[in-house]
Amino acid sequence: MLRDKVHAHRRRVPNGPTIEASYLTKIESRLALAASTAPLTFNEQLLSAEHVIINGRWLKNVPALLCAYRESDLFARVLEPRFHSLVMGDTNAETIKIGNTAPLLRRYNQVSFEHPPFTAEELELRFLDPRAIGFHENGIDSGADDPMYDNKPWHNSLGNYDQIHGEHFDLEFFFSAGTPAMRIQFHEHSPYAASYRGIARYFAEAMNRAWRLDSPNSEIHESDPYWVIRFAFVMGTHFMAMPPFHFSKDQNGVLVDGVQHQRRPLALYAEGVKWLNLALDMLEGRVTNFLGVVVPRIRSRQARVHVA
């Protein structure tokens, strides 16, 4: 429905590159804001380290990630959207309305994406206030942005945003031989646990149904051949730009600058690091399959697709 009812409008090709302004510079400015808001939590040791350890995995930290993305013209061409369009901008439960819930409450013996038991039209599905943030050109809001932004349902589930936002997790922050490290453990019985458990196994089927990936004539193959790489990249940039908006205050309305008080923006930071590392691994050929979707290999300066 997003593809047909939202992304079909205001389609335009940006006048120039968008990755730096839309994502990379924004990450730096948002983390600078986080550092000025809570300098003890988002300190220089965390933000300037070359690596960060998350649940035992050594990952490139933000400075190394931004350097890797910026130094490759090829990566920039792969990540650059072919077009902008009208974008919903916030595909979460507050801006999605269902007029007819009856099909959702029925019992079904078997459900598949190829033969869905109901349609968006039957649900009377509506998106409220499609607005995007809007990519700015020469200081003017174009009214359009990268449609990849609207994969937020995966951001909320695969990316753990709902569990992070609701603080349904425990976090430890420490330094291992000078390297910042975090352990994040999501609660087994959070309000989202049952709904999202195992949801990753449906990713390939869901995206195939939405974008007709199995059809050689599908628009996605021409308009966004590297969509799965861009998906991981945009997931990461979402999270990395969010920490300043998720600081917590105590019952007296005071922001306490400490790890446990501010574990939510720290967890968002960690999630952003994970997805941006994943996207870089895809670009550099270390990840060739993501949740059942083949990751195209990039071999030439022309960024041709070579499928393994």
Residues 55 and 148 grouped into a single domain: yes
| For residue 299, pLDDT beyond 80 | no
Greater model confidence, 180 or 134: 180
Instruction: Give the pLDDT score at 112.
Output: 87
Average pLDDT over the chain, rounded to an integer:
92
Instruction: Give the pLDDT score at 93.
Output: 66
Instruction: Calculate mean pLDDT across residues 113-140.
Output: 86
Residues 38 and 107 grouped into a single domain: no
H or E segment at 237?
helix 227-240
| For residue 308, pLDDT beyond 50 | no
| For residue 307, pLDDT beyond 70 | no
> Rounded to an integer, what is the distance from CA 245 to the centroid of its chain?
16
H or E segment at 71?
none
3-state secondary structure of 78: helix
Alpha-carbon dihedral 206, 151, 24, 276, rounded to 10 degrees = -40
Residues 198 and 99 grouped into a single domain: no
Residues 101 and 173 grouped into a single domain: no
Residues 103 and 124 grouped into a single domain: yes
List C-alpha distances in Å: 179 to 96, 176, 250, 276: 42, 5, 29, 19
Residues 72 and 98 grouped into a single domain: no
Q: Is 128 left (phi over 0), alpha (psi -120 to 50) or beta?
A: beta
| For residue 305, pLDDT beyond 60 | no
List C-alpha distances in Å: 42 to 19, 26, 54, 61, 229: 25, 16, 16, 13, 28
Domain span including residue 120: 93-129
Phi–psi pair at 25, nearest 5 degrees: -65, -35
Instruction: Calculate mean pLDDT across residues 133-155.
Output: 88
Greater model confidence, 65 or 3: 65
- pLDDT, tens digit, 9 for 90 and up, residues 194-209: 999 999 999 999 999 9
Residues 197 and 278 grouped into a single domain: yes
Instruction: Calculate mean pLDDT across residues 102-117.
Output: 90
Instruction: Give the pLDDT score at 198.
Output: 93
Instruction: Give the pLDDT score at 153.
Output: 86
Instruction: Calculate mean pLDDT across residues 180-190.
Output: 96
Residues 31 and 45 grouped into a single domain: yes
- pLDDT, tens digit, 9 for 90 and up, residues 86-104: 998 877 767 889 999 999 9
Instruction: Give the pLDDT score at 98.
Output: 93
DSSP 206: H
Q: How many domains does the chain have?
A: 2
Given pLDDT bands bounded at 50, 70 and 90, which one contains residue 302? very low
> Rounded to an integer, what is the distance from CA 259 to the centroid of its chain?
24
DSSP secondary structure, 11-49, as one string: -B--SS--HIIIIIHHHHHHHHHHHHH-TTTS-HHHHS-
Residues 149 and 67 grouped into a single domain: yes
DSSP secondary structure, 132-196, as one string: ----EETTEE-S-B-GGGG-HHHHHHTT-HHHHHTT-EEEEEEEETTEEEEEEEE-TT-TTHHHH
Residues 224 and 294 grouped into a single domain: yes
The two three-digit tokens of residue 209, written as one number = 């149904």
Instruction: Give the pLDDT score at 121.
Output: 93
3-state secondary structure of 64: helix
Residues 44 and 112 grouped into a single domain: no
What pTM was estimated for this model as a whole? Answer: 0.92
Instruction: Calculate mean pLDDT across residues 290-297.
Output: 95
Instruction: Give the pLDDT score at 114.
Output: 85
Given pLDDT bands bounded at 50, 70 and 90, which one contains residue 139? confident
